[in-house]
Structure 1
Amino acid sequence: MRVIVAAIDFGTTYSGWAFSFRSDYEKDPTKADVKHWHSGLGTVKTPTCLLVKPDGVTLQAFGYDAENQYMELADKDEHKNYYYFRRFKMLLFGALGKHLTKEINVTDEMGKELLGIDVFAMSIKFMIDDLMAVVNQRLTGIIMETDIHWVLTVPAIWSDPAKQFMRHAAVKAGIATERLTIVLEPEAASLYCQHLPVNTAVTDDSLTISEFPTGSKYMVFDAGGGTIDITVHEVQSQYTLREVRAANGGDWGGIIVDKAFEHFLIDLVGETVFNTFKHSETVDWLHLSREFELKKQAARTQSEGNVIMHFPVSLIDLFETEKERKMSIKDAIVASKYSKTVDLKRDKFQISHSTVEKLFEDSIQQIVKHVQILMNDERMADIKVILMVGGYSESALLQRAIKSALPGIHIVIPQEASSAVLRGALIFGHNPMTVTERILKYTYGTGVAKPFVDGIHPESKRRKTDAGDRCKDILDKLIEKGLRVTPGETQVKEYYYTSNKKQSGMFFNIFISEEKNPTFVDDKGCTKLGTIKIYFEEPDVYLDVKSI
């Protein structure tokens, strides 16, 4: 029995945690104690920012505290030996994570590096400690480690090595692997929304997933700061669901808008001035980044008026004192392509709404294009509803673009879209069997040696054994990409034998591939996932053609 389930939503831009007691879950699955961070706004997420002391191993602060303390250090010019990380989760996004190992480094905002697994583990450890302090305040008795089951959320489009990396980081942070569950973010959000009453969704016709009859299918659109995660679910009986289309998506999240804002500033002041500003006027750069984050969240679909921001005096000074500069920043704006849409009055930066919308353009266009391609697939003909969750889904600009691109499709947005994943993760933690079926994203297999066939097998793979010449590195497919599998059930049974007499054991290297039928384990697209080691009490003497 899981007395308490604790969930950590480790996001690219924002993170948070929540917990729920088994007794509360049984009365109301949506009930949860969600951390509200003291930012002045009382948000349920805090920036995924990490401040590490100069020794490179001691955590100084996390979240809003990390932002504020780094600003204070920078204000006194004492920040240069500290490590300040933000948005480092994107390190784990990529094709099968071929270069993703425990030895990979992550780079901080000023170019300094630390071991990636340590940075992730420190972040998770902070949230564990923060949650445990609150739990112990709530209860009079002492909570044992075995009373808590932890759930860690990850994007569904991540590769298996990336998910495995997060598990290693969580274990390093102090969570025992048997008390840890990894949950896919779209699944968590979908589970939460299945339990929501009608009045908690922001839709034109008060439509909610909880009212859907068994067999209804809908698209889950999980938009975060880093990735856009899209999958298709089907409603099952008794608040369960099954995946009917494998997760897909890309790195088109909100941070692309931030990069567009940086390019916009570089267009105005030049790359050299901007880089100098970031490194030498760090406090002003941090304030500008934080202010833009607030403006980005509040961006609306307006054709008139301006967005007003503070333009740092230090950036103006750097621009106007640069070697051989012959014009003021105001004159430079007038001479630029932004002459009619941007104005600077003292330190007040006025940007037209149309220019702000253009900062979203690249991200939104890529998202809309991908969603339209998906919806044009004949297999999606019966999809009439899209469930939008994740912090980026709260953007009015993104909502408008999706609705405009998909006329006739119902858009469902829960009022707490940014915390839907966190709350759903708790439901999954209490009852993992709520997901009844998934679609395999990869082909899985193991490396074997089979009898060598001259003219068919490459000579480079010939190996001498007690049973004759064998061809090594053949991928023996265990299960194929695209198949439906049921969690908790055995999917395949195979028999394997040794290739040499008196072997003391067998090693099974497990490989994954995005291809359905790869031939060799080192074919393009194949990646080693891990190794299963089996040792024999007595040396084995069996020989067979399907051998390791």
Structure 2
Amino acid sequence: MEIVYDIYLPGCLKVTLRLRGSFMMATRDLLVGAIDFGTTYSGWAFSFLHDFQTDPTRASVKQWHSGSGILVTEKAPTCLLIKSDGKTLEAFGYDAENQYRELTDTGAHKEYYYFRRFKMALNKKLGENLDRKMTIEDEMGKSMNALNVFAMAIEFLVGDMMKNVKDKLTSAIGKDEVHWILTVPAIWTDAAKQFMREAAVQAGLLTSNLTIALEPEAASIFCRHLSVDTTISGGNTSIAKMPVGTRYMVLDAGGGTIDITVHEVVSENSVKEIQSASGGGWGGMLVDKAFENLLIDLAGQKVYDVFKRTETEDWLDLWRDFEVKKRAVAPEKTARVNMKFPLSFSNTFERVTKGKLLDAIEASKYASDIEFGGDKMKMSASLFKSLFEHSIGKTIGHVTSLLRDENVRKITSILMVGGFSESPMLQQAVREAFPGIDVVIPLGASSTILRGALVYGHSPISIRERVLKYTYGVGTTSKFREGIDPEHLQTTTATGKRCRTFSKHVERGQTVKCNEKQVEKGYRTSHKFQKKIRFPIYASEDIDIRYIDECIYIGEIELQLKDPDELPGRRVVVSMTFSGTEIVVKAVDEKTGEDTCVFVNLLG
């Protein structure tokens, strides 16, 4: 038996889906490519439709080799080395790290841009500005247009994947024939998601072939296919074996953000969201920041800045070694943590302050916790582990607050995914904080999002329902009520005095079915010979809203009207879909009957 129906993907692309057996397939998706663009690490993977139908977990995943040839990972550092023209990408990932390090030998690195961990620039709150002209600084403080940097990274990942695809096929295939999945944090704003879409389009992808996937959702649906022996949890809990109605929390801990949502099992291969995504910028980078603050506390901001600028190679080596130690440290460790520590740091301290670094340490609060021997820094286990306190504290505190909700209290398990979930420190903290809840950690937690994005690309019906984070609507006008409505919101149109009000389409906490429009509303023109109608879109964390100044403007849609009418009152019916990963808007001009897809501009 085969069931056929249509859905509209972002950009109003109509796609025919067919239900065969237990999977929903998009007929055009013979090849799905996924890009996991992470704060600290990124990667790509692809899978063919026939492979997916045989085994949904089967995927071709890029294996990245570090310069030493010893380390092989499924994701590479999100690092870009860009030439001085600001247009040419010299290297990406481990190659960018290694080439930049080599350039520091001659001082030639000053002629390049070196970007790392820049994704957090898009981690904005509702109402915070995000636009196409935004700039970001590289590691040495030089600025570039952010959209260009993101586009270069995506273009490299796309090109690198296509080279591998072509090596595996006897016939040619182009990137326009691939259904691309680009992952983003679920807690991101709609503007940040649009920013990533535009960066991907600038990188050469067709918007009609591109789907934005939410990171914790991708990980969740991938783990619905994993058996218990593919986890490192130490128990017998399997997300795949959970019966219908079971609820579990997805804790996606990345380098930049901690992204948390709650899912309920709907069927063998699908889930629904019962708690909207929440979290914050509490990922592994907070541990890095704590270590940087410790160095600054020891030596001073000026010494650290001079060391970074003048001894860049040693600065890079210091952070590489710290990353290794950060990943390995465990809660039970009691012995001191030994790190390579460049002598140039001590020399820089002496040059800048005319004093001795050892004397400064002995006079500080770290005297009993830090000691030096040759080119080694020996840090007490307690001090090193304290670097995790802020990140872990924020995460545990947030999960604790979520568990106060009646819907969330019913969870039986916490699924930990993302690169930072591989940290023994975070794993143990979650287990100790929530002893009555099973903690499930899949093998290769850092690549579950990448692999899950492929599952989502082949089977978008895997996510049945979502819970809205915000109340959404459009700005409109209603008859002005003297003595009731605020005077500053009064406006005059061809139909008299009007008040600028909020027309709600959906509200925060509302459960919506995926790929179905939520509400349809009619609006009328207010001027003679009106050639276009504009709808400003607003969002709010509140539910009961009447006026536009009670919410936040996030963007607008604009519809051109053919054959303008002499009198106002021409009706346009607008439907918005907020259940997908992006806002989709359709408008029907009742006069012409035209069904139009409307571009939503959320970036100013």
Shorter-normalised TM-score: what interval? over 0.9
The question of whether the paired residues in 1 share the 8 Å contact of 2:534 and 2:556 is answered with no
Match in the other structure for 1:196: 226
Number of residues of Structure 1 aligned to a counterpart in Structure 2: 544
Query: Partners of 1:468 and 1:334 in 2: how far apart?
Result: 77
Is 1:187 matched with 2:217?
A: yes
Report the Cα offset of residue 52 of structure 1: 1.0
AA matched with 2:503: D
Query: Partners of 1:33 and 1:545 in 2: how far apart?
Result: 51
The question of whether the paired residues in 1 share the 8 Å contact of 2:162 and 2:175 is answered with no
Q: For 1:369-388, list aligned pairs within 5 A.
A: 369-388=397-416
For residues 139-177 of structure 1, what are the alpha-carbon distances to aligned partners after superposition, in whole Å with 9 as ceiling and x for unaligned?
A: 111003342000000000111111111111111111111
The question of whether the paired residues in 2 share the 8 Å contact of 1:308 and 1:350 is answered with yes
Match in the other structure for 1:453: 481
**Partner SS for 2:110:** coil
AA matched with 2:380: S
Query: Partners of 1:147 and 1:243 in 2: how far apart?
Result: 31
Match in the other structure for 1:492: 519
AA matched with 1:406: F
Query: Partners of 2:504 and 2:299 in 1: how far apart?
Result: 56
Long gaps (5+) in structure 1: none
The question of whether the paired residues in 1 share the 8 Å contact of 2:329 and 2:424 is answered with yes
Query: Partners of 1:540 and 1:117 in 2: how far apart?
Result: 43
Match in the other structure for 1:536: 562
Query: Partners of 1:277 and 1:154 in 2: how far apart?
Result: 34
Is 1:227 matched with 2:242?
A: no
Match in the other structure for 2:426: 398
Q: For 1:139-158, list aligned pairs within 5 A.
A: 139-158=169-188
For residues 85-139 of structure 1, what are the alpha-carbon distances to aligned partners after superposition, in whole Å with 9 as ceiling and x for unaligned?
A: 1111001112125310001111111111111111110110010010011101111
**Partner SS for 1:539:** coil
**Partner SS for 1:509:** strand
For residues 29-60 of structure 1, what are the alpha-carbon distances to aligned partners after superposition, in whole Å with 9 as ceiling and x for unaligned?
A: 00000111011311011111111111111111
Query: Partners of 2:330 and 2:490 in 1: how far apart?
Result: 65
Query: Partners of 2:573 and 2:270 in 1: how far apart?
Result: 41
Q: For 1:152-301, list aligned pairs within 5 A.
A: 152-301=182-331
Range moving further from structure 2, 204-213 or 417-426: 204-213
AA matched with 1:536: K
Match in the other structure for 2:345: 315
Is 1:444 matched with 2:472?
A: yes
Report the Cα offset of residue 464 of structure 1: 2.3
Is 1:56 matched with 2:82?
A: no
Sort the Cα spacing of 1:344 and 1:468 in 2 relative to 1 into closer, same or farther, 3 A: same
Match in the other structure for 1:346: 374
Report the Cα offset of residue 338 of structure 1: 1.8
Report the Cα offset of residue 217 of structure 1: 0.4
Is 1:409 matched with 2:441?
A: no
Report the Cα offset of residue 333 of structure 1: 2.3
AA matched with 1:76: T
Query: Partners of 1:377 and 1:528 in 2: how far apart?
Result: 29
**Partner SS for 2:554:** strand
Query: Partners of 2:235 and 2:273 in 1: how far apart?
Result: 26
Is 1:128 matched with 2:158?
A: yes
Query: Partners of 2:352 and 2:532 in 1: how far apart?
Result: 69
Sort the Cα spacing of 1:540 and 1:17 in 2 relative to 1 into closer, same or farther, 3 A: farther
**Partner SS for 1:261:** helix
From 65, 72, 86, the counterpart of 1:38: 65
From 91, 103, 107, the counterpart of 1:73: 103
AA matched with 1:405: A
Report the Cα offset of residue 422 of structure 1: 0.4
Range moving further from structure 2, 55-64 or 174-183: 55-64
For residues 379-408 of structure 1, what are the alpha-carbon distances to aligned partners after superposition, in whole Å with 9 as ceiling and x for unaligned?
A: 322112100000000000001111111111
Sort the Cα spacing of 1:526 and 1:48 in 2 relative to 1 into closer, same or farther, 3 A: same
Range moving further from structure 2, 155-164 or 457-466: 457-466
Query: Partners of 1:340 and 1:157 in 2: how far apart?
Result: 41
**Partner SS for 1:496:** strand
Match in the other structure for 2:451: 423
AA matched with 2:217: E
Match in the other structure for 1:511: 538
Match in the other structure for 1:476: 503
From 13, 18, 41, the counterpart of 1:14: 41
Query: Partners of 1:208 and 1:476 in 2: how far apart?
Result: 44
The question of whether the paired residues in 2 share the 8 Å contact of 1:218 and 1:386 is answered with yes
Query: Partners of 1:331 and 1:224 in 2: how far apart?
Result: 38
The question of whether the paired residues in 2 share the 8 Å contact of 1:96 and 1:161 is answered with no
Sort the Cα spacing of 1:304 and 1:461 in 2 relative to 1 into closer, same or farther, 3 A: closer
AA matched with 2:395: I
Sort the Cα spacing of 1:489 and 1:310 in 2 relative to 1 into closer, same or farther, 3 A: same
**Partner SS for 2:193:** helix
Match in the other structure for 2:390: 362
Query: Partners of 1:53 and 1:522 in 2: how far apart?
Result: 45
Report the Cα offset of residue 238 of structure 1: 3.1
Query: Partners of 2:160 and 2:363 in 1: how far apart?
Result: 51
Long gaps (5+) in structure 2: 1-27, 575-604
**Partner SS for 1:205:** coil
Match in the other structure for 2:552: 526
Sort the Cα spacing of 1:107 and 1:518 in 2 relative to 1 into closer, same or farther, 3 A: farther
Sort the Cα spacing of 1:323 and 1:301 in 2 relative to 1 into closer, same or farther, 3 A: closer
Q: With the length of structure 2 as denominator, give the TM-score of the two structures.
A: 0.87
Query: Partners of 1:333 and 1:189 in 2: how far apart?
Result: 44
The question of whether the paired residues in 1 share the 8 Å contact of 2:136 and 2:146 is answered with yes
The question of whether the paired residues in 2 share the 8 Å contact of 1:195 and 1:210 is answered with yes
For residues 494-548 of structure 1, what are the alpha-carbon distances to aligned partners after superposition, in whole Å with 9 as ceiling and x for unaligned?
A: 111111232222122222222213333343x413233232322343635289999
Is 1:28 matched with 2:58?
A: no
**Partner SS for 1:124:** helix
Report the Cα offset of residue 303 of structure 1: 4.0
Q: With the length of structure 1 as denominator, give the TM-score of the two structures.
A: 0.96
